[in-house]
C-alpha cells in the first residue's frame, strides 16, 4: 500500500469508530476486508488511527470525521499544505482531493483553538486534570498524546537483565534498561516480535509497564499476599518474582484470570486463585493489593478511546466502586498488615481523595506511604498508597 492508500484505510476505520464501533474491532473489520494489506500496512494504518484518537481534540478542528482527523494528522506530519495535497490527490487509492474549504481551514485554524484541542480530552476532564496536578496539567496532557513505550519485566529470579537483553536481541528485539524499575527493559526496536521470542515463550520476560513494575517492587514483604483485583495477574507475578510469599489472586470477573495459570507456570510460580467467599475463608493476609477499576487516565496513551468515552456518570460510578472494594478488602488484612490501593489514574478524586475518605471512615487505619507516577516519567500514570490496619487494642 502507498502512504496515501494507508490514509484512505485509516479514514475508513475512523469513520466506523465514530459510528460506534470500538477502534480495535474497526481495525479488525478493515483487515479482514483487505487481505491485500501486509503486516507493515496493517501496523501503519493502526498507528495512524491511534495517533488520531490520542490527538482527536487537536485534529478535529476541520470536522469530527475520519477524513477531518486524517487530514490534520497528515498536516502534523508534513511541512506544508502542498505536501498534504499530494497525499490527498484522489488518484488510485488515495483519498479524494482537498477542497478549497479544507485548504483554507488548514491554514487559518490552530491545533490550540480550544481547550479540547490543547488538552486532547473533553473539557470537563481537562478541568479534572488541572485540579489534580495544578500547573503540570498541560504537560501531562501532552505526554498522554504520545505513543506508549513497550516495556518488559525480566524475571530476575531466573535471569539477569544483561542475559535477557542478549537473548531478545537474537530474535531481533532490541531492549535497554529503564530507570523506573530494576526489572524493566524498554523495547526500542521490533516490539511486535516479542510474542514469538524465546525469552518471552520461556517465561524469562513478561510484558508489563515500567511504572507498574516499580509499584510492585516497592510493595512490602509479606508471608501471604492477595492480589484482590488481579485481572491478568501481572502484579502478583511481579511480586512473586521478588518475594518468597504464598501468592493468592482474586478478581470479581473470574474470566480475567483465565491466563494466570499458564503465565504463573511459565514464570515458575504458584498462585492460588480464590473466589470472593474463599478470600474470606483464607484470610488474613499480610498484604492485600487492590488495583481498582478506574478511569484508566494514566494509560490513555495505550487506550485513547477511554478519554472520549468516559462520562460524568461513569466517573462517579467508579468512585463508588473504588470505595466498595476498599470496604470489601479491609477485613481480609491482618492486624498491622497493609492494604495497598492502586490506580492507573492521574486524577486526585480517584487517588488521594479516596484514601482520605477511607481513613476518615475507618478508625485506626492510616496511610503510611503514597506515591504518584507521572506519565512524564516514561511509564503509565499510576498512584499507590499503603493503608496500615491497626493492631487490636
For 163-183, the pLDDT digits (tens) are: 999 999 999 999 999 999 999
Same domain? 250 vs 380: yes
- b/e string for 325-344 if b means 16 or more Cβ within 10 A? bbebbbebbbeebbbbbbbb
Both 180 and 322 in one domain: the answer is no
Contact yes or no for 175/165 (Cβ under 8 A): yes
245 band by pLDDT with thresholds 50, 70 and 90? very high
Inform me whether the pLDDT recorded for 125 exceeds 80: yes
Looking at the structure, tell me whether residues 24 and 90 fall in a common domain: yes
pLDDT surpasses 90 at 388 = yes
- On whether both 237 and 331 belong to a single domain, the answer is yes
In the predicted model, what is the mean pLDDT of residues 355-361?
97
Last residue of a domain, one of 207, 231, 249: 207
Average pLDDT over residues 188-206: 94
Q: What is the DSSP string of 333-393?
A: EEEEEEEEEEES---GGGTHHHHHHHHHHSTT-EEEEEEEE-GGGSS--EEEEEEEPPPP-
* Residue 152 confidence (pLDDT) above 90: yes
The pLDDT, as a whole number, for residue 338 is 98
- The percent of residues in the chain predicted with pLDDT above 70, rounded, is 99
Comparing C-alpha atoms, which of 287, 349, 345, 285 is closest to residue 323?
A: 349
Boundary residue ending a domain (87, 111, 135)? 111
- Do 185 and 298 lie in one domain? The reply is no
pLDDT of residue 241: 87
CATH at 188:
3.30.70.1170
Residue given cell 471512615 in the structure block: 361
Specify the 3-state DSSP secondary structure of 300. Answer: coil
Give residue 242's pLDDT band: very low, low, confident or very high (50, 70, 90): confident
Cα angle 360-363-366, degrees, rounded to a multiple of 5:
70
- Known binding-site residue numbers for S-adenosyl-L-methionine: 251, 291
**C-alpha cell recorded at residue 185:** 527493559
pLDDT tens per residue, range 19-76: 999 999 999 999 999 888 888 999 999 999 999 999 999 999 899 999 999 999 999 9
Q: Residue 244 maps to which CATH number?
A: 3.40.50.150
Q: Are residues 274 and 368 in the same domain?
A: yes
Note whether residue 129 is domain-resident.
no
pLDDT at 71: 96
Whether 139 maps to a domain, the answer reads: no
Q: Are residues 187 and 230 in the same domain?
A: no
Binding residues, by number, are: 251, 291
Q: Which residue has the cell 456518570?
A: 313
Q: Is 90 left (phi over 0), alpha (psi -120 to 50) or beta?
A: left
Do both 325 and 358 map to the same domain? yes
Question: Do both 327 and 219 map to the same domain?
Answer: yes
Q: Is the same domain home to 238 and 313?
A: yes
The answer to whether residue 290 is catalytic is: no
Cell 502542498 sits at which residue?
82
- Angle between helical axes of 66-77 and 39-54 (0-180°, round to 10): 100
> What's the pLDDT score for residue 35?
84
Average pLDDT of the residues of the chain:
95
Distance CA 165, CA 94 (A): 41
229, 290, 294, 344: the active-site residue: 344
Whether residues 155 and 191 fall in one domain: yes
124 located within any domain = no
Place of cell 510493595: 219
Which pLDDT belongs to residue 192?
Answer: 92
The answer on 184 and 214 residing in a single domain is no
* Domain-embedded: residue 373: yes
Q: Which of 219, 231, 351 is nearest to 287 (CA)?
A: 219
Whether 106 has a pLDDT exceeding 80, the answer reads yes
Q: Give the residue numbers spanning the domain of 52.
A: 3-111
Among the residue ranges 102-111, 117-126, 218-227, 319-328, the one predicted with the least confidence is 102-111
118 located within any domain: no
255 part of a folded domain: yes
Q: Is the pLDDT of residue 252 over 80?
A: yes
* Residue 374 resides in a domain: yes
Q: Which of 261, 169, 174, 159 is nearest to 205 (CA)?
A: 159
Q: Is the pLDDT of residue 111 over 80?
A: no
Q: Do 208 and 155 meet the contact criterion of CB atoms below 8 Å apart?
A: no
User: Residue 119 domain-assigned?
Assistant: no
Instruction: Give the pLDDT mean for 389-393.
Output: 84
How many separate domains does the chain show? Answer: 3
Amino acid at each position: 500500500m502507498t502512504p496515501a492508500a494507508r490514509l484512505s484505510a485509516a479514514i475508513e476505520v475512523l469513520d466506523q469508530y465514530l459510528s460506534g464501533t470500538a477502534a480495535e474491532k474497526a481495525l479488525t473489520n478493515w483487515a479482514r476486508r483487505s487481505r491485500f494489506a501486509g503486516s507493515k500496512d496493517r501496523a501503519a494504518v493502526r498507528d495512524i488511527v491511534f495517533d488520531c484518537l490520542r490527538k482527536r481534540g487537536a485534529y478535529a478542528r476541520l470536522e469530527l470525521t475520519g477524513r477531518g482527523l486524517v487530514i490534520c494528522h497528515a498536516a502534523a506530519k508534513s511541512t506544508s499544505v502542498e505536501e498534504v495535497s499530494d497525499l490527498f490527490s484522489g488518484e488510485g487509492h488515495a483519498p479524494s482531493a482537498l477542497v478549497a474549504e479544507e485548504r483554507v481551514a488548514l491554514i487559518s485554524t490552530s491545533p490550540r483553538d480550544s481547550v479540547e484541542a490543547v488538552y486532547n480530552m473533553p473539557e470537563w476532564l481537562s478541568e479534572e486534570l488541572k485540579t489534580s496536578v495544578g500547573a503540570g496539567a498541560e504537560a501531562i496532557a501532552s505526554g498522554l498524546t504520545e505513543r506508549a513505550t513497550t516495556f518488559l519485566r525480566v524475571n530476575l529470579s531466573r535471569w539477569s537483565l544483561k542475559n535477557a537483553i542478549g537473548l531478545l536481541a537474537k530474535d531481533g528485539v532490541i531492549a535497554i534498561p529503564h530507570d523506573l524499575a530494576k526489572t524493566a527493559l524498554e523495547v526500542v526496536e521490533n516490539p511486535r516480535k516479542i510474542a514469538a521470542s524465546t525469552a518471552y515463550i520461556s517465561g524469562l520476560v513478561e510484558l508489563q509497564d515500567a511504572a507498574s513494575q516499580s509499584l510492585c517492587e516497592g510493595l512490602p514483604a509479606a508471608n501471604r499476599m492477595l492480589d484482590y483485583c488481579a485481572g491478568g495477574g501481572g502484579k502478583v507475578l511481579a511480586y512473586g518474582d521478588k518475594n518468597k510469599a504464598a501468592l493468592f489472586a482474586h478478581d470479581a470477573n473470574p474470566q480475567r484470570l483465565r491466563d494466570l495459570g499458564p503465565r504463573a507456570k511459565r514464570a515458575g510460580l504458584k498462585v492460588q486463585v480464590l473466589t470472593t467467599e474463599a478470600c474470606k475463608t483464607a484470610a488474613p493476609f499480610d498484604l492485600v493489593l487492590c488495583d481498582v477499576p478506574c478511569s484508566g487516565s494514566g494509560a490513555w496513551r495505550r487506550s485513547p478511546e477511554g478519554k472520549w468515552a468516559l462520562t460524568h456518570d461513569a466517573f462517579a460510578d467508579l468512585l463508588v466502586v473504588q470505595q466498595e472494594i476498599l470496604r470489601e478488602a479491609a477485613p481480609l488484612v491482618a492486624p498491622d498488615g497493609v492494604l495497598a490501593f492502586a490506580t492507573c489514574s492521574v486524577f486526585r478524586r480517584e487517588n488521594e481523595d479516596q484514601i482520605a475518605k477511607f481513613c476518615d471512615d475507618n478508625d485506626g487505619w492510616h496511610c503510611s506511604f503514597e506515591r504518584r507516577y507521572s506519565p512524564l516519567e516514561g511509564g503509565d500514570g499510576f498512584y499507590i498508597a499503603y493503608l496500615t490496619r491497626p493492631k487490636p487494642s
